[in-house]
Amino acid sequence: MNPADEHSPFSLAGRRAALTGAMGRVGRGIARALALAGAETVLLDVDLSAADEVVAGLVDPAAVHCRRLDLTDLERLEQNISELERELGPIDIWINSAYPRTNRWGLPLERETPADWRANLDMQLNSYCLSSRAVARRMARRGSGSIVNLASIYGLVAPDFGVYQGTDKSMPGAYAAVKGGIVAYSRWLASYFGPRGVRVNVVCPGAVASGQQEPFLSQYNRRTLLGRMAGAEEIGHPVVFLASDAASYITGAVLPIDGGLTAV
Ligand SMILES: NC(=O)c1ccc[n+]([C@@H]2O[C@H](COP(=O)([O-])OP(=O)(O)OC[C@H]3O[C@@H](n4cnc5c(N)ncnc54)[C@H](O)[C@@H]3O)[C@@H](O)[C@H]2O)c1
């Protein structure tokens, strides 16, 4: 069955889908999957310098809108979402894939200050929670809608720091707090708004391939059951599934997309 066929439950034909962080590594994969499923796609990002390139890669560039949105402008979120809907019409699907972080993000625990911690939780966790909440309230008034938030395997399990051995990379503890918080709050929203027709789900991707270097690459790959990292579209398609009517009885779900890393 062709997912863009409007009679397929997997189709997003006739749906308006807004995606934050649309210019990012994962966002681009989700944008391609949304377009392939026939959605009218609203690409939101704080930096639209790559917009022409991203839009050109989509199956129907005419069905795409690009708008600047700073997801961390928490005080203006309600107003910005309201303006978007006034301009483009009701948003049926909202997907958070933005990845705002401070320029000190990623410091080892010993050098991370309380201000670093607070700023990143505000940017990464509060932006997802407050935007989902604002969108869900609007969807609830219309009696339907679907939200998908991007968490991570590190919202489910702790990192095996062995995968970073021999590299200068690590995984900040604040990421666990952010992603675990997104998982828990998305479930809370699913419970609160379920009776009013709004579904809220979370995906937990593992690492997405982007030219990562050895020895991290093979150390990480060994932790997965499939022996490799994800392609961005391999995140996009499950997100589209959760957003679609094919998932009409799925809410409050947390879906790992991790090549089996969290299964063992
Ligand atoms: N890449 C991975 O391996 C991976 C793995 C697991 C989970 N994730 C999650 O997927 C999501 C996307 O990650 P990514 O790898 O695509 O990140 P990325 O850095 O490649 O892209 C993030 C995008 O968000 C945009 N952005 C930054 N600040 C913003 C703001 N204030 N408002 C709106 N947009 C803003 C950036 O301009 C960029 O286009 C994040 O939630 C991340 O935690 C990524």
Question: Is 175 tagged catalytic?
Answer: yes
CB-based pocket (< 6 A), ligand 1: 20-21, 23-27, 45-47, 69-72, 97-100, 150, 152, 205, 207-208
Among residues 241, 235, 169, 227, the alpha carbon closest in space to that of 8 is found at 241
The pLDDT of residue 118 is 98
Question: Can you tell me the distance from the alpha carbon of 59 to that of 236, in angstroms, rounded to the nearest whole number?
Answer: 14
User: From atom 11 of ligand 1, which residue's Cα is the shortest distance away?
Assistant: 97
The pLDDT of residue 4 is 58
**How far, in Å, from the CA of 97 to the mean position of ligand 1?**
5
* Catalytic residue, candidates 175, 185, 192, 220: 175
The pLDDT of residue 15 is 98
Task: For 176-230, write each residue's pLDDT tens digit.
Answer: 999 999 999 999 999 999 999 999 999 999 999 999 999 999 999 999 999 999 9
Output phi, psi for 147, to 5 deg. Answer: -120, 135
The pLDDT of residue 208 is 98
Among residues 180, 188, 187, 262, the alpha carbon closest in space to that of 223 is found at 262
**How far, in Å, from the CA of 174 to the mean position of ligand 1?**
15
Under-50 pLDDT residues of the chain: 1
The pLDDT of residue 7 is 87
User: In order of start, what are the domains of the chain with their CATH numbers?
Assistant: 16-256 (3.40.50.720)
The pLDDT of residue 1 is 47
Extract the tokens encoding 103.
């320029």
